[in-house]
Chain A
Amino acid sequence: SQQGEEDPQALSIQEGENATMNCSYKTSINNLQWYRQNSGRGLVHLILIRSNEREKHSGRLRVTLDTSKKSSSLLITASRAADTASYFCATEAGATNKLIFGTGTLLAVQP
């Protein structure tokens, strides 16, 4: 399936440290998105990176995309306790108009 695999499954860091999450996928993509989900709540869109882009920034977020390796990473710099959440990558499965979510990384930022 297209579903992305995320690594690590869980990550615990101290406030102020950087957090890096990785996503690998199986088929070619046009775009890759990252979402955040606070416990038991809806998802919030963080960033969309297109297949012809290699890096994108939004505030403390930095996303990279390596289409040759079929992988993406999300870096959160200077983390805060409020960044504690699950983070999912998502890709479109071919031209199906379906967004398929990766397995997710649970990030815990300790104050």
Chain B
Amino acid sequence: DTEVTQTPKHLVMGMTNKKSLKCEQHMGHRAMYWYKQKAKKPPELMFVYSYEKLSINESVPSRFSPECPNSSLLNLHLHALQPEDSALYLCASSPQPAGGRYEQFFGPGTRLTVL
């Protein structure tokens, strides 16, 4: 299985809602990533998990809360988001947390709209 899956595909939420994005991989990868991508822009790194521990937080606002329950799962908990947080949220994994030395496998993304 060489796939990264993400659910849901689309999410619409109000600014007072709490929701979660889910990402799963069964390739035995030890690094997992969350990216945010606005329209016509490159993906921007948000968080990196290395061996199930948070290793990089790119100064992301606390209304985004990542969680890695096990080596295959990555969640992104959302609370009190702003309309400007509307974007495509991409999850990725790589065999090791080695930045550019390994290719990253991306999921199809969750299209988030905050009203």
Q: Is B100 an interface residue (CB 8 A)?
A: yes
- Enumerate chain A residues within 8 angstroms of B48, measured Cβ to Cβ: 97-98
| A42 pairs with B111, CB closer than 8 A | no
Which single member of A3, A43, A48, A96 contacts B90 (CB below 8 Å)? A43
B59 → chain A, closest Cβ, in Å?
12
Which residues of A, 67-111, contact B by the 8 Å Cβ criterion?
88, 90-93, 95-104, 106
Number of A interface residues, CB 8 Å?
30
- Enumerate chain A residues within 8 angstroms of B66, measured Cβ to Cβ: none
Chain-A contact segment, one of B12-20, B71-79, B101-109: B101-109
Q: Is B28 an interface residue (CB 8 A)?
A: no
A41, A42, A48, A100, most chain B CB atoms within 10 A: A42
In Å, the complex CA distance between A40 and B40 comes to 10
Additional pairs, 17, CB under 8 Å, beyond known A42-B4, A97-B99, A98-B99: A30-B100, A31-B100, A35-B106, A40-B111, A41-B108, A42-B109, A45-B105, A48-B100, A92-B101, A96-B56, A97-B31, A98-B58, A99-B99, A99-B104, A100-B45, A101-B44, A106-B40
A–B complex contacts, Cβ < 8 Å, 24 sampled: A3-B42, A29-B100, A40-B111, A42-B6, A42-B90, A42-B106, A45-B103, A88-B43, A91-B100, A92-B101, A96-B56, A96-B99, A97-B48, A97-B50, A97-B56, A97-B98, A98-B45, A98-B99, A99-B100, A100-B45, A103-B41, A103-B42, A104-B42, A106-B40
